[in-house]
Amino acid sequence: MRLKTLLALLLALTASAVLYAQQSLKTFSPSGYIQLETVLNNTGELQYRLLFKNKEAVGLSSLGLRLSTPAIELNRFSVVNIDSTSKDETWETVWGEDHRIRNNYREIAYLLQNKSSTPVKLRIVFRVFNDGVGFRYEFPQQDALHHFVVADELTGFAMTGDHKTFWIPGDYDTNEYAYYTSPLSKIDASGGGSAQEIHAKTFFDKNAVQTPLMMKSADGLYLNIHEAALLNYPAMNLVLDKATLKFHTQLVPDAVGNKAYLQTPAKTPWRTVLVSDKAPDILSSRTILNLNDPSVIGDSSWIHPQKYVGIWWEMHVGKSSWDYSGSQVGSQQATRVPHGANTANVKRYIDFAARHGFDGVLVEGWNTGWEDWFGQWKEDVFDFVTPYPDFNVQELSDYAKSKKVKIIMHHETSGSVTNYERWMDTAYRFMKRYNYDAVKTGYVGRIIPRGEHHDGQWMVRHFERVARKTAGYKIMVNMHESVRLTGLHRTFPNWIASEAARGNEFNAWSSGNPPEHETILPFTRLMGGPMDYTPGIFKIKMSYYDSTKKEQVHTTLTKQLALYVTMYSPLQMAADLPENYEANLPAFQFIKDVAADWEETRILDAEPGDYIITARKARGKDSWFIGAITDESARQFTTSLHFLDAGKTYIATIYRDADNADWKSNPEAYVVEKFVVTAKMALKLKLAPGGGTAISLLPATAAETKGIKKYK
């Protein structure tokens, strides 16, 4: 007993912010494994360093900002005051990977005064969590500084070795790149800007990459750099100095080259570094969410996770068109295909959704403007309230209601955000009139106001405005071509998903997403929040639709099923055509059964770029689901079911690759097997090249398990 008390005392002492040397402070995470060192050097520069279990994870790195109006460098300081505090609380999510999240950190905050002729006060706040650190700049209200323009942020991230890095080129407009894997020293983004079939890209430096950036050091540390709570500020890109392996920050500029226009009191987003010696810890981290503010939505009962189908993939595979005239968007081709969003076809999807228990039916191409769309950089293209003549809004609204299904609205802005902002209220009122409660927005093409970028402050403010305004109308929103996510779904839980990365759609009409893609995305893009990846494609090869086509989905069929568990989103599409599901009901059953909202999540095993095995428990239920995916290599795993309720018996339905399956040569071959299992068992998983296994684990009574074999 006494020893325990003594130990606790010792721990408390070493773990708090201890004055180490005159100029250097150490702040330990509650667990003691993570150590942040903040150092004020002789010239007044404040720098930080991060250690994990005494190993250096981030070397001594710079902090500060450069303002242009007034012109001041904020990087030489005298310390006014240092505060430290800590927090340990648990909060409930509206929806999410976990029902309850623990927010446990130690904080140290420096109040600094700039050493220039115009002394300005700046706070730098650090929070040290058990899996990493977050820090941000805060500008208190003060006489010396009211309005100001940020010219550059001087935050650095010094890497301590030539880490294996999963990166996409830095870009001001798009994150829809396929990932590159290379040592830091071999990053070369110059080729990355070409041949990736992306409509609007603004590549700016061959040494620039985007966050979330995932790295692995030679001695087995997993590192992830990103940001949290990106509001009223541009997104951060990282530019590597290859000689020193230090990253510096490159904020996305506006049309005249400025980065951010702020007024005191103001604060930047949090810069985050996550670190662990276990890859699953990165995926399990909730630090980015914890650094975001609680929900601003009081009554969130109208927000509901859901699965949906839609008039969507049929356009992407070229079977129908968005455009009423039947021409394919973006092509001058003479061959016409039917207009997809016609009343009869929408009813067919509504029937399908109702029959199989889906909540939503997305309909794209319902409104006028598509004939005028694509690459024009034209201001007025869509009005968001005028349907094509063959889309009967009232009739479909009534029909959907009678079938207890909701149509999901689609607003393609064509990048003309000025136009969209003029229409927003009218468009949301139109939605309410016809009983829509969710909208998918899109920002394909270059932004208007011309010269603005998708990831600049102007657009970041627009995305926030959309989140707030839709919330005011009790509308859920899913944003495509938005800025990368930074955990803002905690604050705006009606912002239920975004695309903001290379989605499954690329497999329909481009070189596509290589088999490793989905083993990287959870470590990168999804660190910031849910992605509308649109999994569930059963017809893998596009030659099925047109024998001249070479494109294909780069996975097996059962990997598409596993993605419902791997790729977290409260909004999950069953993206393939109804007829492809009807022809494959045994596999479709998994999509019908899988949950979209979770009580808890366990990352059972993972290695970025190679494989991920995820288990999740359905929220408010006793059922569990497992998704296991691999890259282009076949892999085998033994997966323990220890997380199941010890007292219960479950029926495991295993959807696996057939023995001869292969993403390239035989992608649609699968086997469905049922077994009786308990928490004491372990399952042997065999994943084909580019393959995956999906498993549902539903608690069962003795009567229900009759005739089903025990797993051996």
Among Ca ion, ligand NOJ, none, partner that 153 touches (CB below 5 to 8 angstroms by kind): none
Q: How many CB atoms are located within 10 Å of the residue 117 CB?
A: 6
Nearer to Ca ion, 409 or 695 (CB): 409
Q: Which does 415 bind (CB under 5 to 8 A by kind): Ca ion, ligand NOJ, none?
A: none
Which token pair is 471? 């919330």
Please report whether residue 281 would count as binding ligand NOJ according to CB under 6 A: no
Q: In the window 452-511, what residues touch ligand NOJ (CB under 6 A)?
A: 480, 499, 503, 505
Contacts 24+ apart (CB under 8 A), 396-401: 396/343, 396/346, 396/347, 396/350, 397/434, 397/435, 397/436, 399/347, 399/350, 400/350, 400/361, 400/435, 401/435
Report if residue 364 touches ligand NOJ, rule: CB under 6 A. Answer: yes
286 lies in the binding site for ligand NOJ (CB under 6 A): no
- Which residue, among 454, 457, 506, has the nearest Cα to 481 in the 3D structure? 454
In terms of Cβ atoms closer than 10 Å to its own Cβ (0-12, 13-18, 19+), residue 397 is middle
Closest to ligand NOJ by CB, 341 vs 591, is 341
Instruction: Give the amino acid at 491.
Output: T
* Residue 670 neighbours by CB distance under 10 Å: 25
Cα separations (Å) of 58 from 45, 54, 92, 126, 219? Answer: 17, 11, 32, 14, 14
Considering only CA atoms, which of 248, 354, 232 is closest in space to residue 293? 232
Contact between 446 and 381 (Cβ < 8 Å): no
Query: Is 576 near ligand NOJ (CB under 6 A)?
Result: no
Minimum Å distance from CB 367 to Ca ion? 18
- When the beta carbons of 503 and 578 are compared against ligand NOJ, the nearer one is 503
Interface region with Ca ion, contact rule CB under 5 A, candidates 231-239, 265-273, 475-483, 515-523 = 475-483
Size of the site for ligand NOJ (CB under 6 A): 9
CB 45 within 8 A of CB 60: no
Contact 652, 684 (CB under 8 A): no
Cβ proximity to ligand NOJ: between 17 and 444 the closer is 444
- Cβ 480 to ligand NOJ shortest distance, Å: 4
- Assess contact for 186 and 206: CB atoms under 8 A: no
Centre a 10 Å sphere on the Cβ of residue 198 and count the other Cβ atoms it contains: 20
Could you count the other beta carbons within 10 Å of the beta carbon of residue 352? 20
* Closer residue to ligand NOJ (CB): 227 or 518: 518
Residue 170's binding partner among Ca ion, ligand NOJ, none (Cβ under 5 to 8 angstroms by kind) is none
505 is annotated as an active-site residue: yes
Query: Shortest distance, CB of residue 198 to Ca ion, whole angstroms?
Result: 9
Shortest distance, CB of residue 29 to ligand NOJ, whole angstroms? 39
Amino acid, res. 627: G
Whichever of 382 and 590 has its CB closer to ligand NOJ, that residue is 382
Q: Which is nearer to ligand NOJ, 221 or 501 (CB)?
A: 501
Measured from the CB of residue 561, what is the shortest distance to ligand NOJ in angstroms? 21
412 binds ligand NOJ (CB under 6 A): yes
Cα(468)–Cα(11) distance, rounded to whole angstroms? Answer: 44
Within 10 A of 211 (CB to CB), how many other CB atoms are there? 28
Q: Does residue 516 touch ligand NOJ according to CB under 6 A?
A: no
Q: Please state, in angstroms and rounded to a whole number, the distance separating the CA atoms of residues 309 and 536.
A: 10
Nearer to ligand NOJ, 499 or 597 (CB): 499
Secondary structure E strands in 330-447: 360-363, 406-412, 438-442
By CB under 5 A, the residues from 484 to 513 that bind Ca ion are: 499
Q: How far is the CB of 457 from ligand NOJ (least distance, A)?
A: 23
Question: One of 412, 505, 516, 518 is an active-site residue; which one?
Answer: 505
What is the b/e burial string over 119-152, where b = at least 16 CB atoms within 10 angstroms of the residue's CB?
A: ebbbbbbbbbbbbbbbbbbbbeeeeebeebbbbb
Q: Does 442 bind ligand NOJ (CB under 6 A)?
A: yes
Residue 445 interacts with ligand NOJ (CB under 6 A): yes or no: no
The distance of closest approach from Cβ of residue 440 to ligand NOJ in the complex, given in angstroms and rounded to an integer, is 7
Q: CB neighbours of 712 closer than 8 A, spacing ≥ 6?
A: none
Binding to ligand NOJ (CB under 6 A) within 531-570 occurs at none
Look-up: residue for tokens 């990736």? 196
- Paired strand residues for 669: none
Which residues are registered as beta bridge partners of 374?
Answer: none
Return the residue of 252, 444, 475, 571 that touches ligand NOJ, per CB under 6 A: 444
- How far apart are alpha carbons 174 and 528 in whole angstroms? 16
- Of 329 and 700, the one with the shorter C-beta distance to ligand NOJ is 329
CB nearer Ca ion, residue 406 or residue 480: 480
Which residues bind to ligand NOJ, rule: CB under 6 A?
Answer: 312, 364, 412, 442, 444, 480, 499, 503, 505
Catalytic residues: 505
Which residues bind to Ca ion, rule: CB under 5 A?
Answer: 480, 499
